[in-house]
Structure 1
Amino acid sequence: MAYLIALIPALGWGFMPIITGKIGGSSANQTFGIGAGASIVGIIAFLIMRPQVSLAAFLFSLVCGALWSTAQVGQFISFKRMGVSNTIPLSTVFQLVGNSIIGVLFLGQWAGAKSLIIGFIALLIVVIGALMTSVSDGQSEKKVTTANFLFLLMTTVGYWIYSTFPNLPLVKNQDPVGVFLPEVLGIFIGATLYATITTKGANWKQKENYLNILGGLSWGIAAFAYIFAARELGSNTAFIFTQLNVIIATFGGILLLHEHRSAHEMKFTVAGIALIVIGSICTIFA
Structure 2
Amino acid sequence: MKYIMLFIPAIAWGLMPLVVSSVKKSNVYNQIAGTVVGAFIAAVIAWLVTRSEINANIFIWAAAAGMAWVIGQVGQYISYSRVGVSETMPISTGLQLIGVPLVGVLAFGEWSSPQAKLYGFIGIVILIIGVGLTSVTDQGTSEGSKSNQVSTIILLVLTTLGYIASSSIPKVVKGSSTSILIAQTIGMVIAAAIYTLVTGNGRTWLEKPTLQSIPAGFLFGIGTLSYTAAVQMNGVNLAFVFSQLCVVISTIGGLVFLHEEKTKRGLIFTIFGLILIIAGAILTTLF
The alignment's TM-score, normalised by the length of structure 1, stands at: 0.95
One-letter code aligned to 1:138: Q
Aligned to 1:278: 279
TM-superposed CA distance for 1:141, in Å, is 2.4
Structure 1, residues 156-205: CA drift from partner, whole Å, max 9, x if none? 1111111111211xx1x322322111011111221222223324323134
Q: Does 1:49 align with 2:50?
A: yes
Aligned to 2:74: 73
Range 192-201 or range 33-42, more displaced: 192-201
Q: Does 1:146 align with 2:146?
A: no
> How is 1:1-286 mapped onto 2 (pairs within 5 angstroms)?
1-24=1-24, 25-143=26-144, 145-168=149-172, 171=173, 173-286=174-287
Tell me if structure 2 keeps the 8 A contact 1:33–1:212: yes
Tell me if structure 2 keeps the 8 A contact 1:80–1:142: no
One-letter code aligned to 1:186: G
> Aligned equivalents of 2:219 and 2:181: distance in 1?
15
> Aligned equivalents of 2:235 and 2:259: distance in 1?
36
Structure 2 counterpart SS, 1:23: coil
The alignment's TM-score, normalised by the length of structure 2, stands at: 0.94
> Aligned equivalents of 1:201 and 1:50: distance in 2?
32
Tell me if structure 1 keeps the 8 A contact 2:6–2:227: yes
- Structure 2 unaligned segments of length 5 or more: list them: none
Range 36-45 or range 128-137, more displaced: 128-137
> Aligned equivalents of 1:30 and 1:85: distance in 2?
17
Structure 2 counterpart SS, 1:160: helix
> Aligned equivalents of 2:114 and 2:283: distance in 1?
16
Range 230-239 or range 106-115, more displaced: 106-115
Structure 1 counterpart SS, 2:199: helix
Tell me if structure 2 keeps the 8 A contact 1:89–1:250: yes
Count of aligned pairs: 283
Q: Deviating runs (4+, > 4 A) in structure 1?
A: none
Range 27-36 or range 174-183, more displaced: 174-183
Structure 1, residues 107-151: CA drift from partner, whole Å, max 9, x if none? 111113221111011111111111111222311222462221111
- Structure 1 unaligned segments of length 5 or more: list them: none
> Aligned equivalents of 2:278 and 2:166: distance in 1?
22
Tell me if structure 1 keeps the 8 A contact 2:237–2:285: yes
Tell me if structure 1 keeps the 8 A contact 2:29–2:201: no
One-letter code aligned to 1:75: Q
Q: 1:49 to 1:101 in 2, by over 3 A?
A: same
One-letter code aligned to 2:167: S
TM-superposed CA distance for 1:253, in Å, is 0.6
Range 76-85 or range 137-146, more displaced: 137-146
Q: 1:229 to 1:274 in 2, by over 3 A?
A: same
Structure 1, residues 226-264: CA drift from partner, whole Å, max 9, x if none? 111111111111001111101000011111111101112
> Aligned equivalents of 2:131 and 2:141: distance in 1?
18
One-letter code aligned to 2:64: V
> Aligned equivalents of 2:17 and 2:161: distance in 1?
19
> Aligned equivalents of 1:135 and 1:255: distance in 2?
19
Q: 1:141 to 1:107 in 2, by over 3 A?
A: same
> Aligned equivalents of 1:27 and 1:47: distance in 2?
30
Tell me if structure 1 keeps the 8 A contact 2:90–2:247: yes
TM-superposed CA distance for 1:75, in Å, is 0.7
> Aligned equivalents of 2:274 and 2:33: distance in 1?
29
One-letter code aligned to 1:66: M
Structure 1, residues 197-224: CA drift from partner, whole Å, max 9, x if none? 3243231342101110011111111111
One-letter code aligned to 2:82: R
